[in-house]
Amino acid sequence: MRAVNVTEYGGINVLQVAEIPKPIPKKNEALVRLKTAGINFIDIYMRTGSPNIPVPLPFVPGVEGAGIIEEIGDKVSEVKQGDKVAFVGNLGSYAEYITVPSSQLIPLREEISFEQSAAFPLQGMTAQYLVHDICTIKPGDHVLVHAASGGLGLLVVQWLKHLGANVIGTVSTEEKAVIAKKAGADHVIIYTKQDFVEETKKITNGIGADYIIDGVGKSTLTKDLDAIRTRGHICIFGLSSGAPDPIVAHNLQLKSIAITGGNLMNYLTSREELLRRANKVMDGICEGWLKLNISGIFSLDQVNKAQDLLQNRKSTGKLIIKI
């Protein structure tokens, strides 16, 4: 089969398409003929050999995809040949085929396209746990979302608005500000021109944000401690600008701040939990209040271009691969 095969860590040039053996499903697995795959920031950590997400070489990148089941192992009961499915957390979706444990497959609804199906599992379910599981968000709460025009950011903004929150987004450019506003952000701070701590304080009458959703890390987390209100919550769930500096515990005590580490896999601990969260996202899509904002569709041969856009802040919304 054709797949992107990474044999060394490095720049986008290590993303090379090659012919490799088609995988064979084990007794509890299904072989999925991939139609689409999602591109995510975690793919960049893996490609560059980040010590935070170690992946042994060689590997086929991509942790999210959608397709049709071509074959199932002897012990598979959750799905059958011909089913339309999606998945997240299984490495190897930049390829024509992948094997996935059947308990980790998400049955798809007819009305959801393969393009949408590669765009919602990782970022959609992450948005879902970020707004429902870290702290209770009440209508009118001020929630600060970093990288608000990104793939994850746009979903979080829409979900927060659905819950009635007052959303403050940060972005790097005017163009990205327009996109974040269109998704529903009440206030957008262009952090390359404005100080996000000062602006957040202004917007919240000096109080600070109730909750900060931070997937940026190094350039934001330390400043979040000044932008958050007394007894506020911060979720740190990504490091697109690098791993954040250590935090002095005493600084949390001064304002009684809670910081939670976010990792989707810790919120998908059983099939019941996976399907419940996936269905919440599909409900939002089908009800029309959650838009996926697919801004780029690439072929396997073009994944280097796509990763370059994502890594260098040149993308908004979701990038996917059509296989």
Ligand X SMILES: NC(=O)c1ccc[n+]([C@@H]2O[C@H](COP(=O)([O-])OP(=O)(O)OC[C@H]3O[C@@H](n4cnc5c(N)ncnc54)[C@H](OP(=O)(O)O)[C@@H]3O)[C@@H](O)[C@H]2O)c1
How far apart CA 307 and CA 206 sit, in angstroms, is: 39
In the list 47, 84, 142, 176, the residue contacting ligand X (rule: CB under 6 A) is 176
The reply on whether position 41 binds ligand X by CB under 6 A is yes
94 near ligand X (CB under 6 A): no
- Cβ–Cβ < 8 Å for 310, 320: no
In the complex, the smallest distance separating the C-beta of residue 145 from ligand X, rounded to whole angstroms, is 10
Stretch of residues binding ligand X (CB under 6 A), selected from 15-23, 35-43, 58-66, 281-289: 35-43
> Does residue 126 touch ligand X according to CB under 6 A?
yes
How many residues of this chain bind ligand X (CB under 6 A)? 29
Residue 90 within binding range of ligand X, rule CB under 6 A:
no
By CB under 6 A, tell whether 117 contacts ligand X. Answer: no
Structure tokens given for 32 = 């999925």
- On whether the CB atoms of residues 66 and 118 are closer than 8 A, the answer is yes
313 near ligand X, judged by CB under 6 A: yes
**Separation in Å, CA 31 to CA 22, 82, 110:** 9, 11, 20
From 65, 124, 238, 284, residue interacting with ligand X (rule: CB under 6 A): 238
Stretch that binds ligand X, among 4-12, 199-207, 214-222, 224-232 (CB under 6 A): 214-222
CB of 64 to ligand X, least distance (A): 10
50 in contact with ligand X (CB under 6 A)? no
Q: Which of 93, 105, 19, 103 lies closest to 69 in space, CA to CA? A: 105
Inter-residue contact 145 to 114 (CB < 8 Å): no
**d(C-alpha 239, C-alpha 11), whole Å:** 18
The residue among 98, 103, 104, 100 whose CA lies nearest residue 59 is 98
Q: What is the distance in angstroms between the CA of the first residue and the CA of the last residue of the chain?
A: 11
Matching residue, tokens 């935090």: 247
Q: Per CB under 6 A, does 264 bind ligand X?
A: yes
Among 165, 171, 185, 197, binds ligand X (CB under 6 A): 171
Give the residues lining the site for ligand X (CB under 6 A).
40-42, 122-123, 126, 147, 149-153, 171-172, 176, 215-216, 219, 237-241, 262-264, 310, 313, 315
